[in-house]
Amino acid sequence: MAAITEGHAPTIAIEGARKQRGNLTQARIRWMVLAVVLGLGLVSGRLVQLGMAETDQTIEGQTRDAITATRPPILDRNGLEMAVDIRVPSLYAEPRRIIDVEEAVRELRTVLPDLDEDWLRDRLTGDQGFVWVKRELTPAIQEAVMRLGIPGIDFITESKRFYPGMNEAAHILGSTNVDNQGIAGIERHMDSESVALLQELGLARGNALTPVELSVDMRVQHVLHEQLTDAMTRYQAIAAAGVMLDIHTGEVIALASVPDFNPNEPATALVKDTFNRITSGIFEPGSIFKTVTMAGALDSGAVAITDQFDARYGIRFGRYTIDDFHGKHRILALPEVYKYSSNIGTIRIMQAMGKDNYRAFLSRMKFDERVQFELPEMRVPTVPDSFSEVGAATASFGHGLSVSPLHMVTAYAAFVNGGNYIAPTLYKRDIAEAETLYERVLRPETSAYLRYLMRLNAISTGGSGSQMNKAAQGYRVGGKTGTAEKVVDGRYSSNKVTNFFASAFPLDNPRYAMVIMVDEPKAENAQSGTTAGWNAGTLTGRVVQRVAPMLGIAPDFSEAVDQQIVPAEVRQLYPEGF
């Protein structure tokens, strides 16, 4: 027995070793299977977790509906597109769905190398539902990113505002931000009215909204903008601005202010001095305010169109004497006071009315309140609550108070439309609707007198509007110049002036009022000066000469047309005119 046991000992040892190795192999296999199962379980669990994750309906605080919302097209009065939406892809990430942040950063920067690596890594790390990576990209970039196939990286189609006219109507339209929300101009006003509500309700998502029709005529707008830009170069001015109204409806036909900005690049609006001088600038209006004084005094009955006023000597107030720029130093009839722009005569006319009555008339014309208008970029005028004797005197010729050009053009519209004040608007408005909004501020007879005075100033020898009339021959324009000295270091400077020309045309059958401003002009040549007739006046004439045919106004060179404007009492008293 012992021999047999000893002979089989090696065999038993071999069998034991095999069995031990088999057990070890099976254990390893079991551990590997367990590891694989655990790994698959973890991956499956993560996939289930990702699949069950609730989709975040906001992107950095903005709802998806708001981000993808469209805005209505903006059209001019003739149906020309002024602002439209275009669809653009924007790249976003869902950090909690990204498996390998480093790989995602590396791959994205192969297509978008301008993205900062650290910034991108920070954006893609975390448990956020949505973060922007880069907005408003091209379709080609979208396709390249999609080919990368990175989980948690996707695109959303946004609406981006596009303005075909670029700078031409910048101050009318304003602009939108990257979220397609109005931040200035009529775009902001639209949001405050109805567009924001439509977007909130989701009705503006992917839908074609009804176009918004403005009162602006882009043909006229183009001419005005072009001429204002030319004026800055021609007169070496620091700024220029203009606005034209339909005097019967209050519709703004054109409005421009330069320097301006490109609404397709909203950041350009932050450049210095690009503000809208028509609505958010207030200025001493200078002698264009003399028409206001004439209107108030004539309408009150305190003076008559045929009255005469002593302008032989300056008027003294304490230590100061107010005189005329180019004084005649004689007795002047009221029309002569106007056409020679006599400060002395204008003060006499205001004094006949009385300073308190004059101040009340300024309130009637709404010079002491903000104009009711759609643009949010507005300033409140600075008009004293009451006038001293000297304050009323300087105010009568446009000094010591500041108003916007929009105030002035609205007043001039009332002066020539029969005496009805109507707030201006950027939206289309027919005459029937306009008439329900009329506020009578002057008698029709006063309006007729003012039309005569404005035309007289253009056609008569010595009138401050004669240069304007040369540039707009045949279109029966009339108006008033204003040259306001700027305050420098607390004193009025004769070297820095703001010039205005306020006008209306055609004065035999008025349809439009306009105010043009040129800021700090230089003389165009050795013969011209820096007073308003040489720059704001001639600029007005050039604009009218270009736009009148577009507006259906034919030229008429007949002197008989001008004679129709002259009041009967003036023809009787001064048959040869002035």
For every one of its 578 residues, what pLDDT tens digit does the chain have, with 9 covering 90 and above?
A: 444 445 555 555 556 556 666 666 676 677 676 766 676 666 565 555 545 544 445 555 555 455 556 789 999 999 999 999 888 888 889 888 888 889 888 989 999 999 998 899 988 888 887 888 898 888 899 899 989 989 888 888 877 889 999 999 999 999 988 777 889 999 999 987 655 554 444 444 445 578 999 999 999 999 999 999 999 999 999 999 999 999 999 999 999 999 999 999 888 988 989 999 999 999 999 999 999 999 999 999 999 999 999 999 999 998 889 998 888 899 999 999 999 999 999 999 999 999 999 999 999 999 999 999 999 999 999 999 999 999 999 999 999 999 999 999 999 999 999 999 999 999 999 999 999 999 999 999 999 999 999 999 999 877 888 889 889 889 999 999 999 888 777 777 777 899 999 999 999 999 999 999 999 999 887 677 788 889 999 999 999 999 999 999 999 988 888 888 989 888 888 776 66
What number of other Cβ atoms are within 10 A of residue 106's Cβ?
Answer: 13
Q: Which two tokens stand for residue 567?
A: 């009041």
Residue type at position 223: V
User: What's residue 462's pLDDT?
Assistant: 79
| Length reported for the chain | 578
The secondary structure of 177-239 as a DSSP string is -TTS-EEEHHHHHHIIIIIHHHHHTTTTBS--PPPEEBS--HHHHHHHHHHHHHHHHHTT-SE
Nearest to 88 by CA among 155, 151, 183, 150: 155
Residues 6+ apart with CB under 8 A from 453: 291, 294, 335, 338, 339, 478
pLDDT at 1: 45
| Helices and strands in the chain, H and E counts | 22, 20
pLDDT of residue 338: 96
Amino acid at 120: L
What distance, in Å, lies between the first and last C-alpha atoms of the chain? 159
Tokens of 545: 């000469």
pLDDT, position 179 = 78
Give the C-alpha separation, 232 to 240, whole Å: 6
Q: Is the peptide bond before 72 cis (omega within 30 degrees of 0)?
A: no
Q: Evaluate whether 186 touches 375 at the Cβ level (below 8 Å).
A: yes
Contact 349, 300 (CB under 8 A): no
What whole-number distance in Å separates Cα of residue 328 and Cα of residue 338? 12
What is the dihedral sign for C-alpha 14, 16, 20, 23? positive
Closest CA to 129 of 98, 107, 103: 98
What are the backbone angles phi and psi of residue 532, rounded to the nearest 5°?
A: -60, -30
In the Cβ-directed half-sphere of 180, how many Cα atoms lie within 13 Å? 32
- The pLDDT score that the predictor gives to residue 53 is 47
Check the CA dihedral 405-409-414-416 and report its sign.
Answer: positive
**Cα(115)–Cα(102) distance, rounded to whole angstroms?**
14
Question: 245 has which bridge partners?
Answer: 252, 513
Amino acid at 259: P
